[in-house]
Structure 1
Amino acid sequence: MSPILLAEQVLNGLQSGVMLFLMAAGLTLIFGVMGLINLAHGSLYMIGAFAAAAVAGATGSFALALVAALAAAAAAGALIELLVIRRLYARDHLDQVLATFALILILSEGTRWLFGSFPLYLNMPAGLSGTVTLPGGIVYPVYRLALIAVGIAVALGLWWLNARTRLGIRIRAGENDREMIAALGVDISKLYTLVFAIGAALAGLAGALVGAIQSVQVGMGEPVLILAFVVIVIGGIGSIKGALIGALLVGLTDTLGGVLLPELFKLFTDPASAAATGSAFASMAIYVLMAGVLIWRPTGLFGART
């Protein structure tokens, strides 16, 4: 494999990782503060993608599409928290899983009823549709570089929110002792709704951004949700830094595994079977990574030790 191709795959892995981070950050924020297992998080990703595709198709503006994705996902998240999730905080995790799985079915069928069963397509902005030549002769799409930049900017914004603002203090306090901050006068119900809306907005943003490089269709959020759960297990539940590091590890492992493992198996088998065998092992690589991290550190890379 040429160095240029390897560098391109590394960039692809970074791009995949930062998009996974947007999903995983919201998921780990919700789980860390509320202790809630939210299987419907992938549906919020889907809602953001469909809202962006619909608004972009009606207005032709990608910027308005992103605003619509954030607003639709945040509004859907707040509504879900008020009507359904609020009744689940004191319930068993099995009840949470069953209720949020039911939400997946409701939101998927509702989206199909509203937009139809056929995929929608979201065009990327004209200014980001070309390629750029990077040092070393690497030709890479501008839009994918923009996705990496957006992911880094969101990570910095979340760090600032969590570490430098009064809301961040309340979120961190809510992770550690929700009864105490409620006793100090913080409206814990409003805090939970706000946190859930922020997490939903991040998922919707990820759906809108990825929707420009793949089709927007019903059920598109579930495969990403599985990877997001892998990310927060690797990074540590409740840790934004862990979500970022875990997402980058998963993105790079998944992308580079799909390229390098087939090449490795060519040394031992014929090229035809090497591609199939390498691809099969590549799909397992992220779960092997997760198992290795859990054996070494059961709470994840940045999870709190008990």
Structure 2
Amino acid sequence: MTLTLFAEQVLNGLQSGIMLFLMAAGLTLIFGVMGLINLAHGSLYMVGAFCAAAVSAATGSFLLGLVAALAGAAATGALIERVVIRRLYARDHLDQVLATFALILIFSEGTRWLFGSFPLYLDVPAALSGPVTLPGGIQYPLYRLTLILVGLVVAAGLFWLIDRTRLGVQIRAGENDREMIAALGVDIDRLYTLVFALGAALAGLAGALVGVLQSVQVGMGEPVLILAFVTIVIGGIGSIRGALVGAILVALTDTLGGLFLPELFKLVLPPAEATQTGGALAAMAIYVLMAGVLIWKPTGLFGARA
């Protein structure tokens, strides 16, 4: 194993972590402010990917596809918040799980009806195609590097929004005492719709950006949703900083575990068995990480409450 390979895998893990952060940030905002378990968040990721693929194919512009992903996911999020989610805030978490699971089925079948069962594809923009040479002579795809930079810019924007703006003050207050901010004149219904639309837009952006690296297909959001839940549990529910740190930890654990564990087991097992055993343990590593964090700090790394 060379140093170049290790550096490339670290960059791959960082890129995956930044994209996972976009997904987890919206989920942790929704859960932290509204106390809502939204299993349909992965469907909004899928909506963004399909909007981007459809608009990019029709216009030939990847940038317009990104705009469509943001707008389509945000509009879809605002719509389902007003029509469905708003009726669930005072309900038991089991009711929320059942209702949002039903939304997964509706989105999946609706998307299949609109676009068919065959996957769509997004091409890498011409301006971002090819590799770029990093210090140390590392050749790394420019598009993946751009994803890292875009994700960091979005993260900085979210930190600014939460810490420096009036809306951010309302969001933080809503996490602590919804009844009090409503009594002080804040339109709580409008705040909830804005937060849900923002979370949906972040998920849609992640789906559009990752859609270039994989096929855009029905059900693509569910595996990412599981990782997003693991991320916010590790980072702490309601914490944007926790979502960022947790996403990077999860992605690096998954990426580097898949690289190192098979090689480690090759020291004591035949290559085929070592690859199989190492791969299986690498898939478990993120859940071991989550268990370790919860044993050490039950509220997560940056969680303020259980």
* Equivalent position of 1:219 in the other structure: 219
In the aligned structure 2, how far is the partner of 1:213 from the partner of 1:248?
18
Equivalent residue letter for 2:95: D
CA deviations 1:99-141 (Å, max 9, x no partner) are 0000000000000000000000001210101101111111100
- Structure 2 residue runs of 5 or longer lacking an equivalent are none
Equivalent residue letter for 1:272: A
Verify: 1:97 aligned to 2:97, yes or no: yes
| Matching of residues 37-48 of structure 1 within 5 Å | 37-48=37-48
| Matching of residues 1-306 of structure 1 within 5 Å | 1-305=1-305
Please give the TM-score of this superposition, normalised by the length of structure 2.
0.99
In the aligned structure 2, how far is the partner of 1:277 from the partner of 1:139?
30
Runs (4 or more) in structure 1 with deviation over 2 Å come to none
Identity across the alignment (%): 82
Give the superposition deviation at 1:159.
0.3
In the aligned structure 1, how far is the partner of 2:85 from the partner of 2:24?
19
- Structure 1 residue runs of 5 or longer lacking an equivalent are none
Equivalent residue letter for 1:93: H
Equivalent residue letter for 1:264: L
In the aligned structure 2, how far is the partner of 1:44 from the partner of 1:164?
27
In the aligned structure 2, how far is the partner of 1:122 from the partner of 1:135?
29
Give the superposition deviation at 1:305.
4.2
In the aligned structure 1, how far is the partner of 2:234 from the partner of 2:177?
24
Give the superposition deviation at 1:12.
0.2
In the aligned structure 2, how far is the partner of 1:137 from the partner of 1:253?
25
SS, match of residue 198 in structure 2 = helix
Give the superposition deviation at 1:272.
1.3
Equivalent residue letter for 2:12: N
CA deviations 1:221-244 (Å, max 9, x no partner) are 000000000000000000000000
In the aligned structure 1, how far is the partner of 2:44 from the partner of 2:134?
35
Equivalent residue letter for 1:229: F
CA deviations 1:131-171 (Å, max 9, x no partner) are 01111111100000000001100110000000000000000
SS, match of residue 218 in structure 2 = coil
CA deviations 1:1-21 (Å, max 9, x no partner) are 110000000000000000000
CA deviations 1:265-301 (Å, max 9, x no partner) are 0011011111111100000000000000000000000
In the aligned structure 1, how far is the partner of 2:72 from the partner of 2:116?
18
In the aligned structure 1, how far is the partner of 2:236 from the partner of 2:305?
10
SS, match of residue 215 in structure 1 = coil
In the aligned structure 1, how far is the partner of 2:137 from the partner of 2:269?
33
Equivalent residue letter for 2:266: K
In the aligned structure 2, how far is the partner of 1:255 from the partner of 1:94?
33
In the aligned structure 2, how far is the partner of 1:173 from the partner of 1:272?
54
In the aligned structure 1, how far is the partner of 2:226 from the partner of 2:268?
32
In the aligned structure 2, how far is the partner of 1:199 from the partner of 1:136?
38
In the aligned structure 1, how far is the partner of 2:52 from the partner of 2:15?
20
SS, match of residue 132 in structure 1 = strand
